Each structure stands twice: as structure tokens, then as C-alpha cells.
Amino acid sequence: MSRSVIIVIAVLIVAATAAATSFVLINSKPAGAPQMSEEQRQTRERFFGSSNKELPPIEKGQEMRPRW
């Protein structure tokens, strides 16, 4: 075989190995969000507010658009 054919085969093997490795690593991670500890949940609620209360309605003149 010529040198160029050997180089092309080596590059294809490296590319296939890299693709297989990334596929395995991406699919091995769990899809769901990790569970927070009670302390983390309380800190998050204190900082961002409770996630189960509704936002107040937007009053007239409070549209979210730039003022230029």
C-alpha cells in the first residue's frame, strides 16, 4: 500500500474512535436534573423566590420593550 492510503486509513480509525468515544460519553450521562439537597433548595428559593407562586399581571405602560 502507498503511504497516502495508510495515512487515510489511520485518520479514519482515529475519527471513528473519537466519534464512538463521544457517543458513549454523551449517552452515559443521566438525562434528568440532579436532585438538590434541602439546603440548596432553601437557598435557591431565598435567592430566586418561590417557583410555585404566579407573577403579577403586567400593568398598562409596563411592556418590556426598549425605550429608544
What residues have CB less than 8 Å from 64, skipping those under 6 apart?
58
pLDDT value of residue 5: 95
24-35 pLDDT tens trace: 888 876 666 678
Query: Among 58, 1, 54, which residue's Cα sits nearest to residue 10?
Result: 1
pLDDT value of residue 7: 96
In angstroms, the CA 34 to CA 56 distance is 30
pLDDT value of residue 36: 82
Q: Residue ranges of the domains in the chain?
A: 1-27
pLDDT value of residue 46: 86
pLDDT value of residue 6: 95
**Spans in the chain with pLDDT lower than 50:** none
Query: Among 62, 58, 36, 31, which residue's Cα sits nearest to residue 47?
Result: 36
pLDDT value of residue 22: 92
